[in-house]
Structure 1
């Protein structure tokens, strides 16, 4: 089989692939610090040269921030776009690193060989798995595997300020693809290969309740004057009912049921919620009582009070009735929930419960919708089968409790679904000192992409 020849080539050339990754890791492409602007440009140029050497037409495209790298190879079959980011997080605190974060190396550990260095797992090691799969494919077949666009960002770790404008300005070019592949996620429980098919959205708002025109002496005004902290805590204390459900009217109107096939896969993962919560000193799930912990994390919407303040909080007592009380509240959204609709309903719910003499000041409402991928696209089952073959355990469609904005942008701006497939592990220490990427993740990640491309790119 030609795939067997590609996999054998990957195995034989793994040391060379590691050397190339180490070269990229030596470039200190910290996007958030202007002092490293030149390094970000160097990383983009390095990737352009690698892509050209593989037969792509490639260029670094200027933006108001760091360059975008775009590469193209026209070929037969479905047009696929692969996304990754070459920028990395700052390294502080540097004294907690066991080696120079930009002097990467392979290290022997009790759990096997790891690639140590800033960006090893997030995201240089992950993006290089795809390039190395393309390299092996070309070395065996003489051509790249199909109809491909590569899109690398240089500002993911600093909020992606140039991303949306760039995608909109280049939508005709990037939108020629019909499916995006994103390699910036991980294995489930460090061993189960996974395709992320749903990402929760996010809506958030800050608000302040105001009453008297100044703080009041509690002895002179206590009992007669309304206390905005009392009003705030009373209202927010009713945000959830005894079953863990959110009480804001209409909150669940646009929430779809989880497909039974996906629910069965999740059950088969054997998620240990006791260990999950025990790791942070907790014991009981606090969400909707009729949902499993995985459903609560991945496929159900939430409302959380992220901050609350008012009155005197210094040492000792200052017995006042505060003039103001404030809170920050966020909602993780799923399915077809509209952030603007959710925030409007929440505001109306708060306003309807205000007593006389209390007014509201709303600040900083914003949000983004959830991303739910069309898993009836045959490419999703093909990728799951390819991952199962490589890792020797059944791959699963999984959810993600957080938000990965790029997946939503592909849907919203370019009209395409995305498959999020990654090979990171929970202990990779991304964004922290001593970041690493397991050599097994790098090696099997390359092999995984070769298998996936064999199934979906031709």
Structure 2
């Protein structure tokens, strides 16, 4: 689909970073009302990955918006799967190609938990939890305050970067500036559903991605201190479910209590054996494969503000796990009990010894940890606690042979990824981002969350950076998701600066 003749924009004068910032700010002031209306339109299209009719509407809308700005665009399709919106913006004489990755799908919603309809974007004076009041969408720029917020599903995760990218292109074109890199736009429609076909999309379209020199992942929030950040890695993710067994049917707790083994107690004891009193994982070998930070990464980590006291007050936590700081804990693999189930509670509680108990365990991995090996280590620990592991519910013969049985159902997962800060192209991005954010910019070696970044860093062998723009309190994945307007404007300035980065 690529044309031989490259798209060229006229360069009217040599641009310094401050010029780009001023031009971006002027463009925002002139077009801010329309930018918010365009954002509102995009947010109004439901975008749950399994809702293919609406997902396709999102993809068609984004493709059309790219084409309006001269971007060669098409939808990469697989049967029954959300399409990739692919765009290519060639620049004559460019010596590098930069790709912007965004996902346009969002988490499912439970409308009953939302203050307003998640598919009808609503404008507020400030955050709801801070007493924000609903306002009409502004009709003039002087009605817009950076503390205002838009509430809608995917306002923060992850449609905001799409609007900032489109607006940056508008600003560059309206001022007849020069884009300095070939640009690729790669917008995924099933990230929130696990990116199950992403690797296949990349494999099937290698000709479209092989020339890319750097991937910029536009996702996630700025730092909890509200300072902007660049992130150079993500944690991997995997997990399992563990089921323990008591009697082969629920029993009356009066007749059989104190005699029949209680599966909830067996499971509680097993889970408790996995961590010490400080919350550190004590499974043999769990921390052994952590890849150490480089000197540059250690220096960057030392400059990240400590936010433990702020987070404790914000989240109502008196005694967090571990003895290290929040920032340091992100550099260790974690083991989290995501859910527990056995019998019933409240009004549904019955006087029974339940037949089974189940725990869902999630693990976040850091660079160096292999997902399958981490699960093997957990299974070895389960065996060390006297359990016989099965993959299906045990039959009568197995029940009679072993005193403690655990069914382990392993989840899929992927490894962590991290890009070196030392690479010249990475240093270019850091410098250009500081032109926008100033010395407030934080360099974070690893984000706490997970993305399939390894497909790009390990499979495609290309560096990747995460460019977060959303406010840290955006209720990502939850009810009342929102975006602070000041963060949207920051995203516009950042995208504009990176598109015009020095050659």
**Do Structure 1 and Structure 2 share a fold, with TM-score over 0.5?**
yes
Give the distance between the partners of 1:179 and 1:334, measured in 2 at CA: 22
Distance in structure 1 (CA, Å) of the matches to 2:76 and 2:306: 43
In structure 1, the residue matched to 2:129 is none
Would you say 1:376 and 2:422 are equivalent positions?
yes
Distance 1:391 1:326 in 2: 47
Please tell me whether the aligned partners of residues 198 and 370 of structure 1 are also in contact (alpha carbons under 8 angstroms): yes
- Structure 1 counterpart of 2:461, from 415, 422, 432: 415
Which of these residues, 2, 7, 15, is aligned with residue 2 of structure 1? 15
2:375 to 343, 349, 357: 343
Counterpart of 1:385 in structure 2 is 431
**Separation in 1 of the partners of 2:195 and 2:317?**
35
Q: Aligned-pair distance for 1:194? A: 0.6
Say if 2:102 is the partner of 1:84. yes
Aligned to 2:471: 425
Matches within 5 A, 1:434-445: 435-445=481-491
Shift of residue 89, structure 1, vs aligned partner:
4.9
Displacement of 1:421 in angstroms is: 0.7
Name whichever of 356-365 and 210-219 sits farther off. 210-219
Cross-structure match for 2:391: none
1:232 to 267, 270, 274: 267
| C-alpha distance 233-441 of structure 1, shift in aligned 2 (>3 A) | closer
Q: Quick check: 1:193–1:387 contact (8 Å CA) kept in 2?
A: no
Correspondence for 1:305 among 327, 333, 337: 337
Task: Return the offset for 1:70.
Answer: 0.7
In the other structure, the counterpart of 1:71 is 87
> Match for residue 238 of structure 2?
203
Greater CA deviation, 278-287 or 94-103? 94-103
Supply the distance in 1 between the matched residues of 2:475 and 2:344 (Cα, whole angstroms).
38
Q: Paired residue for 1:256, among 291, 311, 336?
A: 291
2:302, 2:65 → 1: CA distance? 42
Shift, 1:82, TM fit = 0.7
Task: Name the CA shift for 1:133/1:338 in 2 (closer, same or farther; >3 Å).
Answer: same
Counterpart of 1:185?
220
Contact 2:146 2:486 in 1 (8 A): no
Query: CA, structure 1 residues 110+185, in 2 after alignment: closer, same or farther (shift >3 Å)?
Result: same
Q: Which moved more, 1:105-114 or 1:360-369?
A: 105-114
Structure 1: distance between partners of 2:480 and 2:496: 29
Local SS of the residue matching 2:67: helix
- Rate the CA distance shift 1:99–1:327 in 2: closer, same or farther, 3 A: closer
Task: Please point out which of 107, 115, 127 is paired with 1:96.
Answer: 115
> Secondary structure at 2:87's aligned position in 1?
strand
Structure 2 distance, partners of 1:283, 1:95, is 28
Distance 1:203 1:33 in 2: 21
- Corresponding residue number in structure 1 for 2:48: 32
What is the aligned counterpart of 1:363 among 409, 429, 445? 409
**TM-superposed deviation, 1:396:** 1.6
C-alpha distance 257-227 of structure 1, shift in aligned 2 (>3 A): same
Describe the shift of the 1:135–1:414 C-alpha distance in structure 2 as closer, same or farther (beyond 3 A): farther
State how far apart, in whole Å, the 1-side matches of 2:292 and 2:121 are.
46
Give the Cα separation in 2 of the matches to 1:149 and 1:158: 23
Question: Alignment RMSD, CA only?
Answer: 3.3
Q: What TM-score do you get using the length of structure 2 for normalisation? A: 0.79
CA distance 1:151–1:106, change in 2 (3 Å)? farther
State the alpha-carbon separation in 2 of the partners of residues 119 and 311 from structure 1.
36
Q: CA deviation at 1:83?
A: 0.9
Residue correspondences, number:
452
TM-score (norm 1): 0.86
State how far apart, in whole Å, the 2-side matches of 1:322 and 1:24 are. 51
d(CA) in 1 for partners of 2:26 and 2:72? 27
Of 404, 414, 425, which residue of structure 1 is paired with 2:451? Answer: 404
Residues 239, 412 of structure 2: 8 Å contact kept: yes
Unaligned runs of 5+ in 1: none
Contact 2:21 2:436 in 1 (8 A): no
Superposed counterparts of 1:266-281, under 5 Å: 266-281=301-316
Q: Which runs of 5+ in 2 are unaligned?
A: 1-13, 124-136, 388-401
**Is 2:297–2:421's contact at 8 Å kept on the other side of the alignment?**
no
Deviation at 1:343, TM superposition (A): 0.6
Question: How far has the Cα of 1:81 moved from its partner?
Answer: 0.9
Corresponding residue for residue 23 of structure 1:
38
Alpha-carbon separation, structure 1, partners of 2:495 and 2:486: 14
